[in-house]
Amino acid sequence: MNNTLKMILGAGFAVAVAFYANSVMGQATHGGFLVLAAVFGAYMAMNIGANDVANNVGPAVGAGALTIGGAVLIASIFEAGGALIAGGDVVGTIKKGIISPDAFGNDPMLFVYGMSAALLAAALWLNLATWLKAPVSTTHSIVGGVLGGGIAAGGFAIVSWGTMGKIAASWVISPVLGGMIAAIFLYVIKSQIIYKEDKLTAAKKVVPILVALMSAAFITYLTIKGLKHIWPNIVEIFSFLPQTKKPSFLMALLFGAIGGVITYIIVRPRVIKKVIGMEGNRESINLLFTIPLIFAAALLSFAHGANDVANAVGPLAAVNDALTTLAVSEKAAIPLWVMVVGGVGISVGLALFGPRLIRTVGSEITELDQMRAFSIMMAAAITVVIASQLGLPVSSTHIAVGAIFGVGFLREWLDSKDMSVKQEKLHSEVEKHHALKAELAELKAAGDYKRQVELIEAVKLQKRKVKSLKRSLRENYVKRGMVKKIIAAWVITVPAAATLSAIIFFILKGVAS
């Protein structure tokens, strides 16, 4: 599918959303601003699908567990499912409490300009980041958008700088924590399976435990992030559960532990059966992680749809609420049509524009196989669980990309331990190369042309071997250029989105007045 057709299809989705929004409130006073905000919301949702969702499925694609088409299909279904089933019916209109509602002086139209500007600014920044192949945080993008709109409306005094400080801290916390956890799991896999003499026997013991831990982590993660919006409905059906507004951390851990035990019971005999007849090499061990990776991609997509859809529809729901009630509210109900815009828009954006970032995350930062991708997925789930309990602000994008960095840097560190062996081998191969060249020179002097032809080929082959060894000594398993570009994009996301939002706010205000 060429880029022109993709853009036409994306524009078609935005136009369809505009027509529906117009039917909802088009004839009311200022109803045109709902139509405009709906288009911005559709554009934002498509950009979330194009950029953020790649982190959920990219590692599985890079490892070869899923094709791009399969990843897009699974992620589209589960993203939309998470948004519509567990996306919630109420959203905070001023994301993360970063600005005071007083910024808009109880003027609903100023609030509408601010939220509309936030949506468009965040979407434009995400679009640029996707084009540059830089996976960035959509949460931080919308935070920057709301910040810029709020400052344009009420000045710098209305900003909660403490909250902004926590968000800035997440730029470091998220990738470091994700990278450390991913590296730990990969090291466990290597030390307990790959470095063992009898890899298949080790795999029979360790792989079911690792898959059970993954199951426990994901069920805990889904309970905390995916079920919090529909928890009142769940406890109403299952009256024996604690009658709370959202699941407690202990309840999430309990669900995770039960799920982990059940997973172990189911997986262990299947792993034992599968290893029969397998070769005891790395490629065979990798195959044992393929199915868990597909499940992980689906579960991460569901949790992302349930938790992050508010980034697309929160400001749109806020605009809808402000135009309906003619007041500025800190909380707003999310109409079903708004949630559909978010869920379907994410899937449309993923299908049309997601493959670009999926390839970047899956293969252009470091080389992945199934066990490395498994470690990344584990880190994504566990880091969010830990951060939620500790109250640390983290970004799912930064966690996933940080986990990829962690896996790559661990590979470099482990390989550096064998550097002296490689250097000795290089020295030996260089000496062989010099010896062959010296022998060739002697043959030329003696006029032995037949032997010269054979030796010329041997010299060329030896030269290629020396070059290959030199290249392996210089090789970095993590592409440094990608690391620098991604970190730079992370750092400027909030100020870039805020600046764009402020400019758009003044344009909207000027056009409306």
- Among the residues of 369-395, which ranges form H helices? 370-390
Round to whole Å and give the CA distance between 46 and 79.
12
**What is the band of 482 on the pLDDT scale with cuts at 50, 70, 90?**
confident
Q: The whole model's pTM is what?
A: 0.82
**What is the band of 370 on the pLDDT scale with cuts at 50, 70, 90?**
very high
From 65-69, 149-153, 307-311, the region with the lowest mean pLDDT: 307-311
* CB-CB contact of 433 with 461 (8 Å): no
Cβ atoms within 10 Å of 443's Cβ, excluding its own = 18
Per-residue confidence (pLDDT) for residue 211, from 0 to 100: 92
Per-residue confidence (pLDDT) for residue 97, from 0 to 100: 66
Per-residue confidence (pLDDT) for residue 262, from 0 to 100: 95
**What is the band of 469 on the pLDDT scale with cuts at 50, 70, 90?**
low
Round to whole Å and give the CA distance between 466 and 472.
10
Q: Distance of alpha carbon 120 from its chain centroid, rounded?
A: 21
The CA R_g of the chain, rounded to the nearest whole Å, is 27
Does 475 have pLDDT greater than 60?
A: no
Round to whole Å and give the CA distance between 475 and 95.
43
* 119's tokens: 């949506």
Residue located via tokens 């935070």: 143
Does 272 have pLDDT greater than 70?
A: yes
pLDDT digits (tens, 9 = 90+) for 33-64: 889 999 999 999 999 989 888 888 899 999 98
360 DSSP 8-state letter: I
Per-residue confidence (pLDDT) for residue 470, from 0 to 100: 65
Does 243 have pLDDT greater than 60?
A: yes
Can you tell me the mean pLDDT for 12-32?
Answer: 82
- Among the residues of 138-198, which ranges form H helices? 138-154, 161-189
Round to whole Å and give the CA distance between 27 and 462.
79
Q: Provide the mean pLDDT of the chain.
A: 84
pLDDT digits (tens, 9 = 90+) for 276-334: 888 888 888 899 999 999 988 888 888 788 777 776 678 888 888 888 888 887 777 77
Per-residue confidence (pLDDT) for residue 4, from 0 to 100: 85
Q: Looking at beta carbons, which pairs linking 428-432 to residues 24 or more positions away fall under 8 Å? A: 429/462, 429/465, 429/466, 429/469, 430/466, 432/462
260-274, 334-348, 461-475 — which one is most confidently predicted on average?
260-274
Round to whole Å and give the CA distance between 145 and 115.
8
pLDDT digits (tens, 9 = 90+) for 447-459: 666 677 777 777 7
Round to whole Å and give the CA distance between 55 and 398.
9
pLDDT digits (tens, 9 = 90+) for 74-123: 988 888 888 777 666 555 655 556 777 777 777 888 889 998 999 999 99
Question: Does 295 or 230 have the greater pLDDT score?
Answer: 295
**What is the band of 171 on the pLDDT scale with cuts at 50, 70, 90?**
confident
pLDDT digits (tens, 9 = 90+) for 416-438: 666 555 666 667 777 887 887 88
Residue located via tokens 């090291």: 187
Q: Are strands 90-92 and 331-333 parallel, antiparallel or unpaired?
A: antiparallel
Does 13 have pLDDT greater than 90?
A: yes
SS3 333: strand
Round to whole Å and give the CA distance between 313 and 40.
10
Does 25 have pLDDT greater than 90?
A: no
Per-residue confidence (pLDDT) for residue 261, from 0 to 100: 96
Residue located via tokens 């002697």: 442
